[in-house]
Every structure is written in C-alpha cells, then in structure tokens.
Chains A and B, each alone.
Chain A
C-alpha cells in the first residue's frame, strides 16, 4: 500500500527500532488510537453540526456561546456527561444493563475500520468489504434491544422492540440495494469498488436508472437503520419519552448518542463509497493529489449527512405499522425487481 511520506517514516522507524512483531503491534495500537480519536471528534462535530442545521431550519441561532460561534458546545456537553452521576434502576439486570451501551459503539467502530478514506487511509481492506459492513453493523441493534430489555422499564422495552423490528426489516433493504451495485462492480472489496469507478465513472451514473432507485432505497433504509426521523419511533419523544435509553444517564447515554451519530456518518460514507465514487473527485480533476482525497470523501459524506439532517428536521414520524408496510410491501419488492433489472442491463451492456 502506498503511504504518505510521514507515515512511511514512522513505519520505517518503528521497524528499525524493534522486532517485527512488536513493531506491528505498536502500529496497530497507533492506528486504533487514531481511529478512536477520529471517532470521538467526528461524533462531537456531527452533534454540533446537527444542532446548527436544526437551528438554521428552525429560525433559531443554535449553539453560539461556548467558544467562537459555539464550536466548543459539544465538548462542554461531553464533559458534562462524563462528570454526571450514573443512575440506574433497582430491578434492572445490571450485567446486561451495563454491557448494552458498548454494542452500538463497538460495531460502529469496527465498520469504521473498513472504510476507505482515501487510496492510502484504510485500516483493513477486507475482500468481503460490503458483506462485512452489513454483518457487523447489524450487531449494533443488539445493544439497543439489550438496553431496552435490561432497563426494566416498559417504555424502554417498547422502544427496544420497535427498534428490533425496524432494524431487522430494513437490514434487508440496505443489503439488497448494496447488492444491486455489487452486480456492477463484481467485487465486494471497497478498494476494488472505487477502482471500478475511477475508470468507468461513479456507479450512480454507470448504473443510471436502477442505480438511482437503489440509492433512494438505500437512503430510506439507511435512515431507518440509524433510527432517525422519519423512522425515529425507537425514541419517539412524544410517545415513549426517550425510548430505549430512558433509564441511561451520563456516559452510558452518551455512548448510545454518539453511536447514533457515528452510524449516520457510516451510512453516508457507505453511500458515498458505493454510489458517488468514494474519495474520487468529480471527473478525476484532482485524483492525483493524494491529500485532497480524504477531503473529497468527507465533503461528499457531509453532503449526504446534510440530506439526512434535512429529513430529520422537516418530516413527521411514521407509525410502526406504516414502517413495516413501507419495507415489506414496497421497498423489498421494488428492490428485488431492481436487482433483476440491473442484471439485465449489465448483460445487455446498457451501462453508461
């Protein structure tokens, strides 16, 4: 793998300092720390962005007191959450109750490691990339189910059950819509998928009509996977109070909260990788400048996130039966037909 110069220097220095096995372990730890740092910063920034955008849509000012323009607001909030007392319920299943918040955050972190931020920044380019992402990201819902169950609270339980039903249903659409695009690329590996787009143009253009349908289905299902409005009935404020995390406080609540935002980032990042050419620049104008690659990637991800935030602050919430109807009666059949159409288009060579 080609690495930026300063990383290569560190790499060489480490290998010259200690035996290979130790050097490898130290490198792994360094990369893990780097990803964790990105994880935290991205989470905090997305919360801030969400609040700014909400304020902009809602004719308010939003955070504007802590730091210049309110940029330190979420850091202050995080500090507050860290220092808060961890309250819990008496009859809760304490083991599961304490364990549950780690599932969403760990699954999100593992998925993050597969993402290709640029041609060089990718922790683990696994050859079953898309499959890996779909399978690992579905672990997160266990945390929500466990948390809701272990809290010994009926509101939490209703929220958790809603979440279980919703995420299990929409996993199908996410998987199938990505599968539609995999037909085009012929590979599950993320670096390969991007390589295909470097030569043939972004997949959403290559696959034209079925690709656009797949993108729309992916966006709907992805929003549902992250439990955001219009699919936020997991924590439907006006119905269930706070839903599955009603009984959580302090850092445990913050884990759930952070995981939600990181999941949103992941959904957007996967959409960008599969449909919009990942770190590739439009028409390859700046592809040769390596340091611009992550910038392009993050800019595209930002665009998709903006779209999801726009949904959140303007749409009402669906009802549980409507959510299931949408998935099983509309999205899933459309998706299956769409895959067939895509296969026919590829066979006939009608791709762009």
Chain B
C-alpha cells in the first residue's frame, strides 16, 4: 500500500471551479455558469438562473389579454414581434377570430425582418465571441436599416408591440414597402460579405468544425429546437410543420446541415437569412388590401379551456399556453421558451472541450438570457 501511495500518477491534476458570470462578456446577459474545469478542459457546466427573473408568467395572471402582449417583448427581446404574435395568435385561436389576410401578411413580413435582425446580431456577436471583433459592426450596419423600418412603422426599434389580439396596432407606414425593398436589395449584396469576412476564415473553421457535437437523438431528447436542431439534420420548423399567419402561402426551404457541430449551426443561420429574404420578397409586392384590425371588445374574455399556440422565433420554438377560466385574466400562462431547452443541453455538449469551445458552443445557440429566465 505504501508503494501505491508513492507511485501515483505524476500527471494527476486537480479540478477547480470558476464562475462564468453573472457578469461576463460571453454570456450576453446575466447568465451564471458554474464551471468545473481541469486546467482548460471543462468537466461540468452548471447554469445558475434567476438573476433576471421578472416572474412574467405570474404577472400575466393579473393582466388582461391585451396587456400580456406587452410583457412578452421582454422575454426574447430580439424576437419581440414574434413573441407578441404568439400571444395574439393564441388569443385569436381561443376567440375563433379570423384576422384579415393583410394582417397575416404584414405579421409575416415583420416577423421575418425580426428574424433577420436577430440573426444579424447573432452573427456579429458570434464573431466577437470567438475573437473577431469587426463582425459586430458589419452586422449592426445592416441591422440598423431594419430597426429604422420598425421605428417608422410602429414607433419602437426593439420592443415593438406591433401586434394586438385581432390584428395590428396600426397600419404600415406608407414608406414601409419601399424601405423593405431597399433593405432586401442592400442586404443581398452584403450577406456574401459575411461569408467572406468570417465563414471562409481558416481559423474560424478550425474553431467551429467538430466542436460541440450534438446528435439528432440528443437534440430531440433535450428538447432543442430552432437552428440548433436543424444543425443536427432534423428538418423541423414550426413555420412548415404548423403554419401560422401567411407561412402556408410562401415557398421556403428548411435549411438543414447534418454535422451537428457549431459550424453547421452557424451555416443554418446564414442559410436562414437567405430564406427570410426570399419570404419577404415573395410577400412584399402583394400585401392584400383590407383592414389592419378586427374590432375586438375592450375587455377580452376567453372561453373556458386550454389554448396553445407554437411559433418559430429566431432561436427555436416558442409555445404559449393559456389556461382560461372565463375571466378577463388568464388563470395560468406558461411560455415554452426555446432558450431554456437549448440551455439544458449545454452541459452535455461542452464536457471535455476547452473554455474557448464553451464560448463558441454558447454562441452557436444564440442564448438570450431574459428568454431563458422569464
């Protein structure tokens, strides 16, 4: 026994813990990760939530259905329009309210613009996370145009509140169509620039290929949705599988890549930007005439029952569950946010990789912390 004690492994190292966050440049918000690391190698990742918990679901129980819409802006602030749309669609479904085609088309266009803006921000931040600081400014140059369009049409750049149950808050601005067309034309020339600046870079490819491998089975078991799931070769997109608004009227593909690594998740998002541009192009010229809103009562009372609507945000599938007991306030509201499920797989994916890889894996899922921590 004495012998064994002396001849121990000379390369035995000790594990230690570091706190990544709540304030850390790579977590893009107040996510706290407790990392157990051995040198540079990650042994365990424990996300610690609660730093930006605002109890949105509980607040919803004390609000009317029109007011709930405004709270959802603050969940996934980069997909605020899509979040609003999800609540409105649930309420409309419960009321069995058919909104005019004009509303559907405008919602779809604005939703795709939101997705583009979100993916642009993701691209800029992705570059920053793996050390290329310049991407951020290129992304923001293009994102600015979308924000200007939003500002003109609905008065806000980030938390838009453009949807109300029954339609839109107001009609589109007269300049909307022209500006969107100008943006699409501009961005079609700029999107290849994204590839030439970052995608083709050898260092970038070395940093992302084969990192954070996620099999399709893993992705499904952990409930991963959105570009993460499609990067593992599962072609599931709520816009296709459960079409809402005007998505059943347009042609688009679900971009999938089968490697399941950070690089394929990156490629999925880049391809999605092209698809979003194509969806906007198909719709922008034929916005039907009509009302922008169906008149609803000032106080909406949903019938008794449970209602669920799923939409595809830029990060994955957002589900809105409303349990109504027939009053003006919901009995219970539950949001199935994409970020929460996508975060749950982080530990599984990043074990055995290095700290730099963890940052790349996190960036590839595009976590928005207020969405995870409602």
Contact = CB atoms under 8 A, between A and B. Distances in A.
Interface of A: 54, 57-60, 154-155, 158, 229-230, 232-233, 236-241, 313-322
Nearest to B208: A316
A241 to B, nearest CB: 7
11 contacts: A58-B138, A229-B133, A230-B203, A238-B130, A238-B359, A239-B355, A315-B203, A316-B131, A316-B132, A317-B207, A322-B206
Contacts of B133: 54, 58, 229, 313
A320 B134 contact: no
**CB-based closest 9 A-B pairs:** A317-B131, A58-B137, A316-B132, A238-B26, A319-B356, A316-B130, A316-B131, A238-B129, A154-B18
B201 to A, nearest CB: 6
A238 B359 CA distance: 7
B71 interface: no
B40 A320 contact: yes
B138 to A, nearest CB: 7
Interface in B112-168: 127-134, 136-138, 141
A221 B300 CA distance: 68
B144 to A, nearest CB: 11
B206 A236 contact: no
B131 A229 contact: yes
B56 to A, nearest CB: 28
Nearest to B19: A154
B354 interface: yes
B134 A318 contact: no
Given A315-B201, A318-B206, A319-B356, A238 B134 contact: no
Interface residues of B, number: 30
Contact of A230 (B40, B131, B197, B359): B131
B354 A321 contact: yes
Nearest to B205: A316
Contacts of A57: 134
A147 to B, nearest CB: 18
Nearest to A154: B18
Contact of A239 (B136, B201, B356): B356
A155 B129 CA distance: 17
Contacts, number: 81
Contacts of B141: 59
Contacts of B136: 58
B62 interface: no
A57 B204 CA distance: 19
Contacts of A314: 132, 134, 197
Given A154-B18, A238-B128, A241-B25, A319 B207 contact: yes
Contact of A158 (B138, B197, B355, B357): B355
Given A241-B25, A320-B40, A233 B134 contact: no
A316 B18 CA distance: 24
A315 B24 contact: no
Contacts of B18: 154-155, 158
A238 B25 contact: yes
B16 interface: yes
A158 B132 CA distance: 21
Interface in B216-259: none
A322 B129 CA distance: 17
A317 B198 CA distance: 12
B13 to A, nearest CB: 12
Interface string B188-215: 0000000001100101101100000000
B370 to A, nearest CB: 20
A57 to B, nearest CB: 6
Contacts of A313: 133-134
B132 A59 contact: no
A241 B24 contact: yes
B303 to A, nearest CB: 49
Contacts of B138: 58-59
A239 B26 contact: yes
Interface in B73-87: none
Contacts of B203: 230, 315-318
Interface in B3-30: 16, 18, 24-26
Contacts of B206: 318-319, 322
Contacts of B25: 237-238, 241
Nearest to B16: A154
Given A318-B206, A319-B356, A238 B131 contact: yes
A58 B136 CA distance: 8
A155 B16 CA distance: 12
B131 A236 contact: yes
B203 to A, nearest CB: 5
Given A59-B137, A238-B128, A318-B207, 20 more contacts: A58-B133, A58-B137, A59-B141, A154-B16, A229-B133, A237-B131, A238-B359, A239-B26, A239-B355, A314-B134, A315-B131, A315-B203, A316-B198, A316-B204, A316-B207, A317-B130, A318-B206, A319-B207, A320-B356, A321-B354
A315 B132 CA distance: 5
A162 B347 CA distance: 24
A54 B134 CA distance: 8
A322 B356 CA distance: 11
Contacts of B131: 229-230, 232-233, 236-238, 315-317
A155, A240, A318, A319 interface centre (most CB from chain B within 10 Å)? A319
Contacts of A317: 130-132, 203, 207, 356
Contact of B354 (A60, A238, A320): A320
Contacts of B355: 158, 239-240
A231 to B, nearest CB: 10
A192 B92 CA distance: 85
Nearest to A322: B206
B330 to A, nearest CB: 40
A318 B201 CA distance: 11
A54 B133 CA distance: 9
Contacts of A241: 24-25
